[in-house]
Structure 1
Amino acid sequence: MAPSANQSNSNGASSEPQNNLAVNPLLSRIRVSNQYLFQQQIQSRLISNGTNPTREDNFRLLGTQWIGDVRNSLQLPVRTYCTAATYYHKFRLVHKDNEYQYQDAAAGALLTACKIEDTLKKSREILCAAHNLKVSPSEHLTSDDSMFEGLSKVIIGLERLMLEASGFDFRVRKPQKHLVKIAKEAKLSKATYLVAYDIMIDLYRTFAPLKQTSATMCFACLELAVLVMNPKGVPIRSSKLRYLYERCSSTRPEILETLLDLLDLYTHFQKSSIVGPLHNIDRFIQIRIALNQEVEQTSSKNRYTEFHGPPKINNFKKTPITPRTPSSPSEVRKNGNIVSPVTLSPTSADSSRRNAAARTQDGTIRFILDAEQAKREQEKVSEYFKTQYEEYEIEVEETVRPQRDDRVERSQHRGRDERYNSRSFSKRARR
């Protein structure tokens, strides 16, 4: 008959101490998803990746334009476009531009968005739609063509990196439904609402969706639509709907920041938008001047909300972050031939900002949405990895050896050895 759990073994020792041995937790890293980002965080991530500002604007606009064109070709809903653009922006904040082509990243973001929003499309269908947009109708291909075999694997590999860059956070804001409700509350015309709807799509060409709430984006788009359609019209901020700011937890500086982001797009990249080419650029410049004057009248006088400069030490600013040196031409991938997203490391999402010591550690990455839970876990786990030191002072007596002079003492005569100047030596030499 087998012994019970409380019964001791034949040696007289209980089995309970063996089962209650403390096991240290596995080494791992925790990444918490950021639902919102500040402009300062976005700039620091771009600088740490060594992103060129001119190329950054170009790749950002080309990628979102590619997503919009393919989305219209596949007749996908606008919520899929919003999700794909958001994932595309988050991906670019983590990976350098020379690690991928913007078409591959845009296709990976659109494939991820289709699965999240339940508008399922295969990677072959997305690539086929993008190809058919560039060729004539007689050269259209089907999704089962062998041409898309290799590219589809690249897109599937990028899908994994998209999820890691976002922290496996599937919470994406879709402000279109809020736009309809606020437009009805403001009793705006249908023409103004349609312009605001197009402005909302243009807004996803900027980083504003990563920074602002749905209500803030709706207020900014409706106000800009009113100012563009009717220059002499009363802005929304001075109407009787001003109480909605507090009701929707939105502030005027946040709306001003969103408006200026839109006006930067319409003044500098007018042709890369929907509403920009339909109106004169002078109108956007006049609106921007008026909003800049309003920003100067505020207490903070900052273009961006919650923007804090580097701390000062002895009345001197801290040295800014040194941009990452661009990779050599051999490391730049061209047409996906040198480096494939399938072979990229799973931890490459945050490897650009991790020091060398952290990169060499073994462990897993855990993605958590709740920041408080992650903080509690880190405090609990840190107890097992504390390194404690004890200092001791020990007196040790060491014997000092006497110094030895290895040089041979010779009497010197006019700087020469005396034995070579003796008469006997000279006599022998003469003999």
Structure 2
Amino acid sequence: MSVNAPSTPRSWSPASNTQGPLPAIIQLSRPYLSPIQIKNLEEKTAHANGSRDQQLKFQAFSVILATGNYLRFPIRTMGTAMIIFQRFYLFNTMQDFPSTLDTAYACLFVASKTEDTLKKLKEILLASYHIKHPSGPDISMDSPIIEDQRRRLISLERHVLETMSFDFRVRHPQPYIMKFAKHLRCKSNSFVQCYSDVFIDPAPLAETAWQIALDSYKTLVPLKRTPHAVALGCLYIAVSLLECDVSDLNPERFCVPPGDFENVVLELLEFYIDWLPQTMLSTRYPDPARFMSMRIELNKRVGKYSELRTSGAHLRLRDHTMGDKGTVRYVLNWERERLERDDLY
């Protein structure tokens, strides 16, 4: 799966051989999905008991955060694991992969390698065991229980990687939150060390937006919008909650399309209205009516969701057996794939 390697001339007829050294299936990476594509996938993976499925996802997110904190993973690793988890269950059904906790551990393992915070799979499973059984009995890495789980998750890891199309490019909104907050002159005189091992300015606005960004991983917003659009949406909600007067919070000034900014804010507000007890802000702002009033006020200015008018190609669920149909090639560079296809034909 080399993206930058020079292409070489090849002679091939698609009807002559689909099982040879050349790929029979080409899978293109999609770092971001349009709202129409996500809606199409959700309709295919929808289960009769949607509320139960959502609760299972929240349980998986709690496991990712608890295990990640136990192993002292940085926020970016746990956020990447939740993004991978969300993508996995967009392209795979819970009927095919019913154990969301196993999927959560596999996603956390992949995220640890993606973010260069590598831990052995047995370490992750051992940490999860200690969280579930804080009073013992103690268990070692060589235990048959850990070994059985490890073998099961190694197989699941392959499915996670295939769902990602082996694309490990993940960007997070937190760095943009800090930069935008400083640009808005929201500073304080105190400093605190954060997970990324750098000193940041914990102004109330930036702190609140940081918590909102953590909640955004529990939604599909990071799969739809760029990280700087998510960061600005988090800052807008924080501004409204803290009743700050930041007059220069203009999306175009931060190179964010107004439509993307509005949809990020509206989706996050709906998430807080529907699932406030599952969020980081539930203890500080327990009343969902506050978020509802914010949404009503924003709707007066922007009208209906602009994303409903967004066009996009319909996507199919992942075929678990496509590896049995020939060699699968995962391509990150769409332009190169087009040029090579023109050369072949």
With structure 2 as the length reference, what TM-score do the two structures score?
0.82
CA contact (8 A) 2:36 2:308 kept: no
Does 2:269 match 1:269? no
CA contact (8 A) 2:34 2:311 kept: no
CA contact (8 A) 1:67 1:85 kept: yes
> Paired residue for 2:37, among 28, 31, 41?
41
> Paired residue for 1:221, among 234, 238, 262?
234
Q: Name the residue aligned to 2:160.
A: 162
Q: Name the residue aligned to 2:319.
A: 351
Q: Name the residue aligned to 1:260.
A: 266
CA contact (8 A) 1:168 1:367 kept: yes
CA contact (8 A) 2:73 2:117 kept: yes
CA contact (8 A) 1:199 1:274 kept: yes
Which residue identity does 1:87 align to in structure 2? Answer: I
1:161 shift after superposition? 1.2
List runs of 5+ in structure 1 lacking aligned partners.
Answer: 1-20, 311-319, 322-347, 384-431
**Alpha-carbon distance between aligned partners in 2 of 1:294 and 1:261, rounded to the nearest angstrom:** 15
**Alpha-carbon distance between aligned partners in 1 of 2:102 and 2:74, rounded to the nearest angstrom:** 21
Identity %: 29
Q: Which has the higher contact order (CA 8 A, sep 6+)?
A: 2
Does 2:79 match 1:82? yes
**Alpha-carbon distance between aligned partners in 2 of 1:50 and 1:226, rounded to the nearest angstrom:** 35
**Alpha-carbon distance between aligned partners in 1 of 2:204 and 2:283, rounded to the nearest angstrom:** 17
Q: Name the residue aligned to 2:21.
A: none
Which residue identity does 2:319 align to in structure 1? Answer: S
| SS of structure 2 residue aligned to 1:98 | coil
CA contact (8 A) 2:37 2:312 kept: no
CA contact (8 A) 2:60 2:101 kept: yes
Is the radius of gyration larger for structure 1 or structure 2? Answer: 1
The change in CA–CA distance for 1:36 and 1:305 in structure 2 (over 3 A counts) is farther
CA contact (8 A) 1:39 1:304 kept: yes
1:50 shift after superposition? 4.3
1:105 shift after superposition? 0.7
Which residue identity does 2:31 align to in structure 1? Answer: Q
1:71 shift after superposition? 0.8
Deviations for 1:318-356, whole angstroms, at most 9, x for unmatched residues? xx99xxxxxxxxxxxxxxxxxxxxxxxxxx97228x9xx
Deviations for 1:182-225, whole angstroms, at most 9, x for unmatched residues? 11001125122111111110010000000111111111111111
Query: Any runs of at least 4 consecutive aligned residues in structure 1 with deviations exceeding 6 A, and if so which?
Result: none
**Alpha-carbon distance between aligned partners in 2 of 1:257 and 1:143, rounded to the nearest angstrom:** 46
The change in CA–CA distance for 1:226 and 1:247 in structure 2 (over 3 A counts) is closer
Does 2:107 match 1:94? no
Q: Name the residue aligned to 1:374.
A: 337
CA contact (8 A) 1:257 1:305 kept: no
Which residue identity does 1:195 align to in structure 2? Answer: T
1:136 shift after superposition? 3.2
**Alpha-carbon distance between aligned partners in 2 of 1:263 and 1:295, rounded to the nearest angstrom:** 14
> Paired residue for 1:125, among 123, 133, 140?
123
The change in CA–CA distance for 1:360 and 1:246 in structure 2 (over 3 A counts) is closer
**Alpha-carbon distance between aligned partners in 2 of 1:120 and 1:147, rounded to the nearest angstrom:** 22
Matched ranges for 1:272-287 at <5 A = 272-279=278-285, 280-287=287-294
1:363 shift after superposition? 2.2
| SS of structure 1 residue aligned to 2:330 | strand
Matched ranges for 1:58-77 at <5 A = 58-77=55-74
**Alpha-carbon distance between aligned partners in 1 of 2:52 and 2:37, rounded to the nearest angstrom:** 19
List runs of 5+ in structure 2 lacking aligned partners.
Answer: 1-9, 19-23, 188-202
Deviations for 1:363-399, whole angstroms, at most 9, x for unmatched residues? 2111111111212333444x4xxxxxxxxxxxxxxxx
Matched ranges for 1:178-189 at <5 A = 178-189=176-187
